[in-house]
Amino acid sequence: MDSKRTTNAVAAALAVVALTVAAPTARADDATGTPTPTETTSTPSATATTTDPAPAAPATTTATGTATTTTTPTSPTRTAAATSTTTSATTAATTTTAAAPVAVVPRTAPVTRIRDLQVRLKLVGQFPYAITGIYWSAVDRSVLAFQHAKGLAETGVVDQPTWDLLRTLTNTPVVLPRTSSTLRVKDLQVRLKLNGRFAYAITGVYWSAVDRSVLTFQILYNLPQTGVVDQRTWDRLKAVTASPVAIGRTAGAAQLKEVQLRLRALGTWGYGITGVYWSALDRAVLTFQQQRNLPQSGVIDQRTWSRLVALTYRPGTFDQHRYNAGLRPVMPTAASLDSRCRTGRVMCVDKATRTLTWVVDGKPLMVMWARFGRPGLETREGTFRVSRKYEYVISNLYFTPMPYSMFFSGGQAVHYSSNFARLGYATASHGCVNIADMVQIKSLFFKVRVGDKVVVHH
């Protein structure tokens, strides 16, 4: 009996200890608010009920019918681990969503924006295709290759870091800012107008229309679309608006004298007519270009020369600047000749331009300066024929030599005149057509035949 009491006391003590140990676990589960999953095992015995003796996690087995179900509480360590895993997964998902790259040049960007991207990728050697403005797979590959080459996140999309670095690598310094001088801005406007990008007056004021024109030019010529005149844009603009050099620094003295004479006629050249190209001529040419809204190259290109001639010479009149510079007249075109000079072999004498042109079957072959009779002894006008030729003859009226004479109307003839060669248009003839160039008149003399036509007109 005493032995039985002792056994019962020990069992009761063990039960109290088990309840004391289990209580903190239950409280821990309640504190986390995490439901405790159950574990179920099946036992083939239908009549026996057993109790798990583990003090830290007591288990209760209940028999129902022929099956026995055992429930085991979850430990705090497993609950904490599960909670930590769930939290980490949620954090990772949130981080992935936040770090997704935002495309600043998406696939749906405007054509001009995509062209800008393609241009810049081409400049860094990553896009070998045509600039189309179409965002296709090659653009994706090029973007990815650029990111890989530059150590950027290889997202394959043009995110902000990618775009910033690409622009940094492909931009060039600004050479003509909005604060540039009036003359510099005028030069920009002139060149944009020549290119058809600027439809406004040349004012030298840098306003919004200039910005738009620069951007349009950049789009048209596949340049990075900065909207400012950087070095690359300026170089291309100058290249497409340049014209060939007409008279360079190494030109002959006669040509340079002509330039100086024409500039002097417009008040741009205040020095002597020397035929020497020095720094003052550079400045005079540049000043002329600035005054006449021409590209400010500082050299006499074809556009500058054409404008200079147009302002100092009227077609169909005597070109005194060429004559005074010691140059031959400009060869006339067939269309500019008198209609009577366009057929056969003709010495076509034009009093208005003070020239004689040798024409064969409508094609001008030689042109030379000519001088005519003074008032009261004018050279007769009309259509004539060469009646006789003398390589050397002396006038029986004025007793002056008349080398290489070709008579066409009585005593009037085309011939060389030493007086004309010496004094020019300061004097006049007695009615003949004087030629001052010995080489030219001698060459003409041996080309002309008796019977050839002579047309004298004004």
Domain end residue (candidates: 285, 306, 325): 325
Q: Are residues 340 and 318 in the same domain?
A: no
Q: Strand 433-435 vs strand 412-416: parallel, antiparallel, or unpaired?
A: parallel
- Bridge partners of residue 69, in order along the sequence: 62
- Minimum mean pLDDT among 60-74, 342-356, 358-372, 428-442: which range? 60-74
pLDDT, residue 99, reads 66
Q: Are residues 165 and 279 in the same domain?
A: no
Residue 89 lies in a domain: no
Number of structural domains, the chain? 5
pLDDT tens for 173-195 read: 999 999 999 999 999 999 999 99
CATH code (residue 422): 2.40.440.10
Q: What is the mean pLDDT of residues 139-145?
A: 97
Domain end residue (candidates: 211, 241, 271): 241
Q: Taking 90 as the threshold, does the pLDDT of residue 26 lie above it?
A: no
Residue 437 lies in a domain: yes
Q: Are residues 187 and 260 in the same domain?
A: no
pLDDT, residue 12, reads 54
pLDDT tens for 250-261 read: 999 999 999 999
- Give the structural domain span for 385: 334-457
Q: Taking 60 as the threshold, does the pLDDT of residue 338 lie above it?
A: yes
pLDDT, residue 397, reads 78
Residue 104 lies in a domain: no
- Minimum mean pLDDT among 59-63, 220-224, 377-381: which range? 59-63
Domain end residue (candidates: 325, 349, 381): 325
Query: Among 159, 132, 133, 130, which Cα is nearest to 146's?
Result: 159
pLDDT tens for 281-330 read: 999 999 999 999 999 999 999 999 999 999 999 999 999 999 999 999 99
Q: Are residues 200 and 180 in the same domain?
A: yes
pLDDT tens for 30-49 read: 433 434 444 444 434 333 33
Q: Are residues 367 and 452 in the same domain?
A: yes
Q: Are residues 402 and 453 in the same domain?
A: yes
Residue 94 lies in a domain: no
Q: Are residues 146 and 179 in the same domain?
A: no
Q: Are residues 35 and 132 in the same domain?
A: no
Residue 405 lies in a domain: yes
Residue 361 lies in a domain: yes
Q: Are residues 188 and 234 in the same domain?
A: yes
Q: Are residues 61 and 115 in the same domain?
A: no
Q: Are residues 72 and 13 in the same domain?
A: yes
CATH code (residue 124): 1.10.101.10
The overall average pLDDT reported for the chain is 85
Q: Are residues 375 and 413 in the same domain?
A: yes
User: pTM of this prediction?
Assistant: 0.73
Give 102-105 contacts, CB < 8 A, sequence gap 24+. 102/159, 102/160, 103/157, 103/158, 103/159, 104/158, 104/159, 104/160, 104/163, 105/158, 105/163
Residue 318 lies in a domain: yes
Residue 96 lies in a domain: no
Orientation angle between helical segments 302-312 and 253-265, nearest 10 degrees = 60
Q: Are 308 and 262 within 8 A, CB to CB?
A: yes
- Bridge partners of residue 412, in order along the sequence: 409
